[in-house]
Amino acid sequence: MYFVFTGVLSVLLPLRIANHNKTFKEAVKALAGKKNGDENGTSSRVGPRMDDIVSVVTSNSEKHSVQNQPKKVNELAAGSYFGENGLFTNAQRNAHIQAQTSCILYKLSRESLELVFDRYPNWKEKVLQLVSIHREQGRLQQVSREVQSRGMTISTGLVVSRSNIMNERAEGLKERRYHARSNSTHRSLICMSLVRLLDIFVLQPLFKLGNSLIHGTPVQSKFHLGWLRFMVACTVYVAIMIPYELAMDSMHRVTVVVTIIKMFELLCEITFVVDIWFSWHVQESPASMELYDQKLRSVYKKERMVWDILAAIPFYDLVSLFSYIKWLKLLRCIKILNILNYLDELNRRGVANDVKRFWHVWLLYLLMMYWTACAYLAVATMAGFGTQWDSWLPSEELNISDPQNPSATQLSRRFLRGLFFATTMFVKKGYNPDPDTASLYAFHIAISFTGLIVMSFVIGELASLFISFIGLEVGFRKNHIAVELYMARLRVSEHIRSRTYAFMTSLWSSHAGVNYEELLEEMPQHIRAACVLHVSKKPLEWFVMKVVTPVCWEGDESIDALTLSVTNCLQFETYPRDENVVTEGSIVRAMYFVIKGHLTMRSRSLMHRPLGLRDGSYFGERGLLGCTISAYTVRTARACDLLSLSSEAFAQVLQKHSFTRLALKLCERAYKHLKEQHITTCSKRDMEEHWGAALLLILQEIKSCHLSAEEAASATEKNGTGKPPIVGDLNATFTAVSSFLPVEPVADLKKEAPATETQILPEQESSEDIATAATEEIEETSNIIKELGGIPANMGEMFDALNTARTCFEAFAPLLHILLATDPLDWKASFWVCAPRGINHSEGQTASVSIESVPKSAHCNQSGPLPTKQAAPVEQ
């Protein structure tokens, strides 16, 4: 179960479960409302109305299609908990918990709770009593709902029968109306489409705009971000047009262009006033819990409110009633101080902040140059224009003699002359004569100092952005230099040095020096599993379909659970070109799934030509759980990305699921059975028959034991004792299994063996020895079921499908190749044991058992018996 420390989560249920509790209540309310309406005289018609029939039919058709869609039924915040039923039951969860914000959760596992129970047994009894009471209450509520729903079905039967009659009448009326109004239908459809378009594209946006402005909008919503973008555009527009009107062109004339410019300027002034109301009423949302540390209103009051008020108050319009001071218009440009806050809000969820910051710096830099040009022209207008072209002041030719009709040439020359002065002040390059008066000297010095500060700030910002942009490459290059110095100090060979350089080059060219495994380890487990599953979907699905699917009869959910378990154990590895991933003669410790790249597989003893491996392939599964010696060499043809699965992790995954544990036990029992039969040398085809017969025999034993357990349980219920049967007590009732044990199968195998082969028959055993062996095998079968905790689900289908030796071997053959250290069809490698001369048969058998016990104890997570490399055969 989980405890919520911070964050907000949603509880989602399928509609068929979420609506289960309120269906009865809604139906009762509907019937009660209709009954009251009939009593009050509001409806004189018999049976349901047309609206009721249409709503019933529509709801029934839609309910079947959307019954599995999730529906939010609850919300969890800090201090809540969920998943407590998973600590006491093994049932599947029927609810989904989805995080709305970034959350911090504390998990309590069943193993940890058991440790607490062991330490505090009294508290354990109280908790279990509360759980049993809660479970009984849930069962009684479920029974009550079922009784109510059955009663509701009986009471609504009359309504359904009457609704069928009304449906027929409604269809007839609909057809007559359709033929009578065929001409007007087309016009009505056109009108309805126009009204719908008007509602979608005009009325609804206006309604949303008014609602958001009046009641406020959630922070970081689409409307909030759109409003911020609009405010950035308005602020930049005002910061450009107000200085232009004061210094270059007053625009006191009536033309189309000037009218449009003035209208946009008036719109920006109104927007500045509305922005104060909008920013004050921005609402907090679940997104603001993880993005903002303080309250939005307090932050706005502290950082932006003063500048917004100064920019919104129309000082110029108020003062112009008494006197003409045009420089008061510059107060509207003071809102430019908030533009950085607007840009930060827009990029708060962004990842590529370096690129956006680069463009923001350039925007402010160009805006400062533009203001400097406007300030130079404003000073020139006040001080007077110069008489010479090479003076500090602009030439008299740039003076606009007729403000009502300025020429485009004069306006462009004025703008270029001011921009040239601003460029020389910021870049410090270009000819700039000395000023004529002291006031012009003071202005020149102030602008020079301002340009120096701004240029230094821009250079610093761009340098920091560039360093941040190439920081990954710089860090990788530092590590590369450190590796080079280390190898030079160790005096390694040129071959090892070239391999190291190839790896470093491949790591940078393929992954930009990023270690993906470290990034995956830092992710939450569910996100990491989803990413790895998406990358390895093709090879992993093929591996599961080949190895796991034939032995799984519990459905797709169990296969998906095992696939997810395997995904959690995969490790990302990268290899440069011409590098050995697996070497022939080395011990197999992992298998690999190819994600990207190309590899070649060679073998000196088994393959005459190399085999290519591409994306979606896998290799290294043969003898993975047996620590076998690799018979292949896998070498990269170019840089490859692989996902590795170690033998220890794969063994843990197989032991985690009931159907794979059963498959491992079956393979282990079959291998032991074949070892006890002392099979003589035979071909691979005969070995397939032997393996299939052994597996079929073990399946029949488990099936008989399972049927005996069911018969004992039914007999116990009939007698009324109420005591469930124990698997270990089935030995007394499992006497019929002796007919399956090695007497008949071995006889059949002997008949099927070729006449040219000689068989070494074991010593004749007495009837008491046979009975003892049968009892031991019965006890071993019962122990297998007891270890598994019972037979997995849908085992009846497995018993029916695997009813021949051929089907048994085909289902378990891939798992046998993974489990055994040698080829299961190679008799000489897997079952031949050479005993020295002078040792009788029983001594040789004892020696083979002791040899087998060594790897089993050394490799503790091995599920089945591990055959070892036997000595070479001795010529007889």
Task: Tell me phi and psi for residue 618, to 5 degrees.
Answer: -145, 155
Distance, CA of 866 to CA of 871 (rounded, Å): 16
Q: Answer with the one of 350, 370, 401 that is the final residue of a domain.
A: 350
CA 512, chain centre distance (Å): 23
Measured in degrees and rounded to the nearest 5, phi and psi for residue 270 equal: -65, -40
| Confidence (pLDDT) at 830 | 64
Record the tokens describing residue 35, joined without a space: 């009954």
Answer yes or no: is 790 within a domain: yes
φ, ψ of residue 75 in degrees (nearest 5): -135, 135
Shortest CA distance to 549 belongs to which of 799, 798, 788, 781?
A: 798
Residue 446 forms part of a structural domain: no
Q: Which residues of 578-612 are buried (b: 16+ CB within 10 A; e: fewer)?
A: ebebbebeeebebbbbbbebbbebeeeeeeeebee
- 718 vs 711: CA distance, rounded Å: 11
Helices (H), 66-181: 110-119, 121-155, 157-180
What pairs with residue 15 in β-bridges? none
**Is the Cβ–Cβ distance between 681 and 757 less than 8 Å?**
yes
Domain co-membership, 680 together with 778: yes
Cα 124 from Cα 126, distance rounded (Å) = 5
150 and 222 together in one domain: no
Q: Of 350, 378, 401, which closes a domain?
A: 350
Please indicate, yes or no, whether residues 637 and 723 belong to a single structural domain of this protein.
no
- In three-state secondary structure terms, 636 is strand
Verify that 158 and 277 share a domain, yes or no.
no
Mean pLDDT for each 10-residue chunk of the chain (876 residues)?
87 72 48 44 43 46 60 86 80 81 86 84 82 79 69 50 58 61 66 80 78 81 90 94 89 88 92 91 78 83 90 81 77 90 86 81 92 91 78 82 82 89 85 83 91 91 84 83 87 86 83 79 86 91 92 86 93 91 91 93 87 92 89 91 93 90 88 82 84 88 76 67 43 33 36 38 46 55 59 74 88 90 76 39 34 35 36 34
| Domain span at 778 | 657-858
Do 630 and 705 fall within a single domain? no
DSSP label of 95? -
- Amino acid code (one letter) for 610: P
Q: Which helix (H) or strand (E) holds 376?
A: helix 353-383
Tokens of 213: 């402005």
Could you tell me the two tokens for 686? 């005969």
Among 458, 369, 367, CA closest to 420? 369
Asked whether residue 681 is domain-assigned, the answer is yes
Give the CATH number for residue 594: 2.60.120.10
> Do 284 and 296 touch, CB atoms closer than 8 A?
yes
- Residues 665, 632: one domain? no
Chain centre to alpha carbon of residue 710: 43
Is 642 within 8 Å of 619 (Cβ atoms)? no
> In which region does residue 285 sit, left (phi positive, over 0), alpha (psi from -120 to 50) or beta (all else)?
beta
Residue 621 sits in the same domain as residue 699? no
- Tokens 């290799």: give the residue: 619
Radius of gyration of the chain (CA): 42
How far is the C-alpha of 261 from the C-alpha of 548, rounded, in Å? 72
CA distance 590 to 582: 9
Q: Classify residue 248: in a domain, yes or no.
A: yes
- Bridge partners of residue 4, in order along the sequence: 105
Is residue 240 a contact partner of residue 366, using CB atoms and an 8 Å limit?
no
The answer to whether residues 716 and 616 belong to one domain is no
Burial class (CB in 10 A: 0-12, 13-18, 19+), 674: buried
b (16+ CB within 10 A) / e for 538-571: ebbeebbeebbebbbbbeeebbeebbebbbebbb
Please indicate, yes or no, whether residues 704 and 593 belong to a single structural domain of this protein. Answer: no
C-alpha pair distances (Å), 703 with each of 517, 729, 782: 45, 16, 11
Taking Cα atoms as reference points, which of 279, 321, 318 lies closest to residue 301? 279
For residue 357, tell me if it sits in a domain.
no
Residues with Cβ < 8 Å from 832, sequence gap 6 or more? 681, 870, 873
Q: Which two tokens stand for residue 718?
A: 């009939």
Q: Is 512 helix (H, G, I), strand (E, B) or coil?
A: coil
Residue 385 counted as domain residue: no
Same domain as 126, residue 19: yes
Q: Which strands, in side-by-side order, build the sheet including 611-613?
A: 580-582, 633-636, 599-602, 611-613
> In this structure, what is the dihedral angle of CA atoms 738, 742, 743, 746, given to the nearest 10 degrees?
160
Both 625 and 738 in one domain: the answer is: no
The sign of the CA dihedral 457, 458, 461, 462 is negative
Non-local (6+) Cβ contacts of 397 within 8 A are 410, 413
Q: Name every residue whose Cβ is closer than 8 Å to that of residue 70 and which is 6 or more positions away in sequence.
A: 12, 13, 14, 15, 96
In angstroms, the CA 826 to CA 436 distance is: 106
Residues composing the chain: 876
Task: Write down the pLDDT at residue 569.
Answer: 93
pTM exceeding the 0.75 threshold for the entire prediction:
no
Residue where one domain finishes, among candidates 625, 646, 667: 646
Q: What tokens does 246 get?
A: 């004061």
Query: What confidence score (pLDDT) does residue 858 get?
Result: 37
Alpha helices in 2-120 (DSSP H): 15-18, 20-40, 50-65, 110-119
Tell whether 507 is covered by a domain: no
pLDDT of amino acid 255? 87
CA 538, CA 544: separation in Å to the nearest integer? Answer: 10
Residues 636 and 672 in one domain: no
Domain count, the chain: 4
SS3 774: helix
Whether 230 is in a domain gets the answer yes
The continuous run of DSSP H or E covering 729 comes out as none
* DSSP 3-state of 9: strand
